[in-house]
Amino acid sequence: MMQKKVIILGGGVAGLSAAHELIERGFSVEVYEAKTIPGGKARSIPVPDTGTIGPAGKRKDLPGEHGFRFFPRFYKHVVDTMRRIPYGSGTVADNLVDTTRVEMARFGQKSLVLPSHSPRSFSDIREILDEFSTVFGPDFGIPPEEMAFFASRIWQIITSCEERRVDEYEKEDWWDFMGAHSRSSAYQKFFGHGITRSLVAAKAHLASTKTIGDIFVQLLFDLVEPGPSSDRLLNGPTNDVWIDPWLKYLTQKGVAYHLEAKVKAIQCGNGLIQSATIEKGGKTFEVRGDYFIAAIPIERMAQLVTPQIEKLDPGLGKLHGLSVGGVSWMNGIQLYLTEDVPITHGHTIYVDSPWALTSISQRQFWPDIDFTEYADGRIQGIISVDISEWDEKGLNGKPRSSVPAKK
Ligand SMILES: Cc1cc2nc3c(=O)[nH]c(=O)nc-3n(C[C@H](O)[C@H](O)[C@H](O)COP(=O)(O)OP(=O)(O)OC[C@H]3O[C@@H](n4cnc5c(N)ncnc54)[C@H](O)[C@@H]3O)c2cc1C
């Protein structure tokens, strides 16, 4: 039988995952990726021209990332894929490391620090009990009846059947379901925005109760169920310990992965997608396949959906509407320090920050990375910050989007 060819548009985690599954099932696979670095939004972005000459030759550029990578314990598929990517004598999944704490930092008030796994010792239990007194104390700002209401809503999600999740919760936004509009600002901050914007960069007014509820409940179970941490990170720069070994494995298996190859158009005929127009190195050419997979962001895909494609599948016409109001900016910034500042052994969520900041102090999770090999050799620590809200005014009175940023 002739081998079927699949053309994958976009070489981020989705494109790489599709390539992985298909090449292992005997398809011929070609991936077309617009950027110079593989991995899409998960890619590392070294800071160009920052590596200086050291005693052992030229040092590496500063290890920039699009944002830090957080792998909750409930992630199943991505970790399964990682277990199938060779790395040294093991696999890429061995590069996941547990955090032990999660911190909720509050402006001008004591932070809340909790274990990010189920209690393993008396001191863990004590820590949790200590923080309970803060949560139910006077300065926290959420009245007991609102706490009880939140608990009842979460209990309702936990005890709802799949049909109800799909039929009802999928159609109701988190903000409404949580009754946030009529509750205290502390309630709105922690249970409205905190669970959506800070945790998963979603908007409480738009995100469905099903999606946010499912994520939150799984995180909650991960926190109480004995076992590994609810929150894991990579033990080095993302491309070094995940994406590059992945691409190497896929290429060895026969995947043709093309960088700097941008999809400009998609052509159809006879009721099927026939080809994609690719621009690479100033030249334009057509690629044909038996199947096409679009693994590019919704706002990019919307630009490629022509009236002809829309006629074949009217559902694809909805991408235009979704891409206009449905996507928002999220990006990371790295602070390179000449002195390491571990902060906490896990993520910090800055619950009061209008820009919805979360951070990780990276070095404690990169034990085998020699920091003297980077830049001018003086870097001792990295604080990696994710910014999930770009339009709200910050404490300096400016929205994050008023500061020019590179896409
Ligand atoms: C700052 C930040 C932090 C994040 N942190 C986490 C986290 O901690 N944990 C987590 O699970 N998720 C996190 N995410 C989300 C996660 O990174 C994404 O869900 C995931 O990377 C999306 O992968 P994707 O392949 O679907 O899309 P993308 O990564 O967007 O990949 C699409 C690819 O298509 C390419 N492309 C676009 N247009 C074209 C074109 N015309 N032709 C060819 N190629 C094209 C793009 O260059 C890109 O490489 C984070 C996201 C951001 C932005």
Q: Is the CB of 38 under 6 A from ligand 1?
A: no
At 66 the pLDDT is 86
- Extract the tokens encoding 233: 């990170």
At 110 the pLDDT is 85
At 403 the pLDDT is 58
Q: Is the CB of 292 under 6 A from ligand 1?
A: no
Beta bridge partners of residue 257, listed in sequence order: 31
Q: Is the CB of 263 under 6 A from ligand 1?
A: yes
Of all protein residues, whose CA lies closest to atom 26 belonging to ligand 1? Answer: 14
At 407 the pLDDT is 42
Which residues, in sequence order, are CB contacts of 272 under 8 Å at separation 6+? 312
Pocket test of ligand 1: the residue of 8, 31, 41 to mutate, having most ligand atoms within 8 Å of its CB, is 41
CB-based contact 46:36 (threshold 8 Å): no
At 359 the pLDDT is 95
Which long-range contacts does 308-316 make (Cβ < 8 Å, 24+ apart)? 308/268, 309/266, 309/268, 309/273, 312/268, 312/271, 312/272
Beta bridge partners of residue 258, listed in sequence order: 32
Rounded-to-integer distance, Cα 259 and Cα 12, Å: 11
- Extract the tokens encoding 29: 């696979």
Q: How far is the CA of 80 from the centre of ligand 1 (A)?
A: 19
- Extract the tokens encoding 259: 């960088």
Beta bridge partners of residue 335, listed in sequence order: 383
List, run by run, the mean pLDDT of 10-residue segments along the chain (407 residues).
93 98 98 98 95 91 90 95 98 97 89 88 82 74 91 96 95 96 91 83 89 93 89 96 98 98 96 96 96 96 94 92 82 95 94 90 95 95 92 78 55
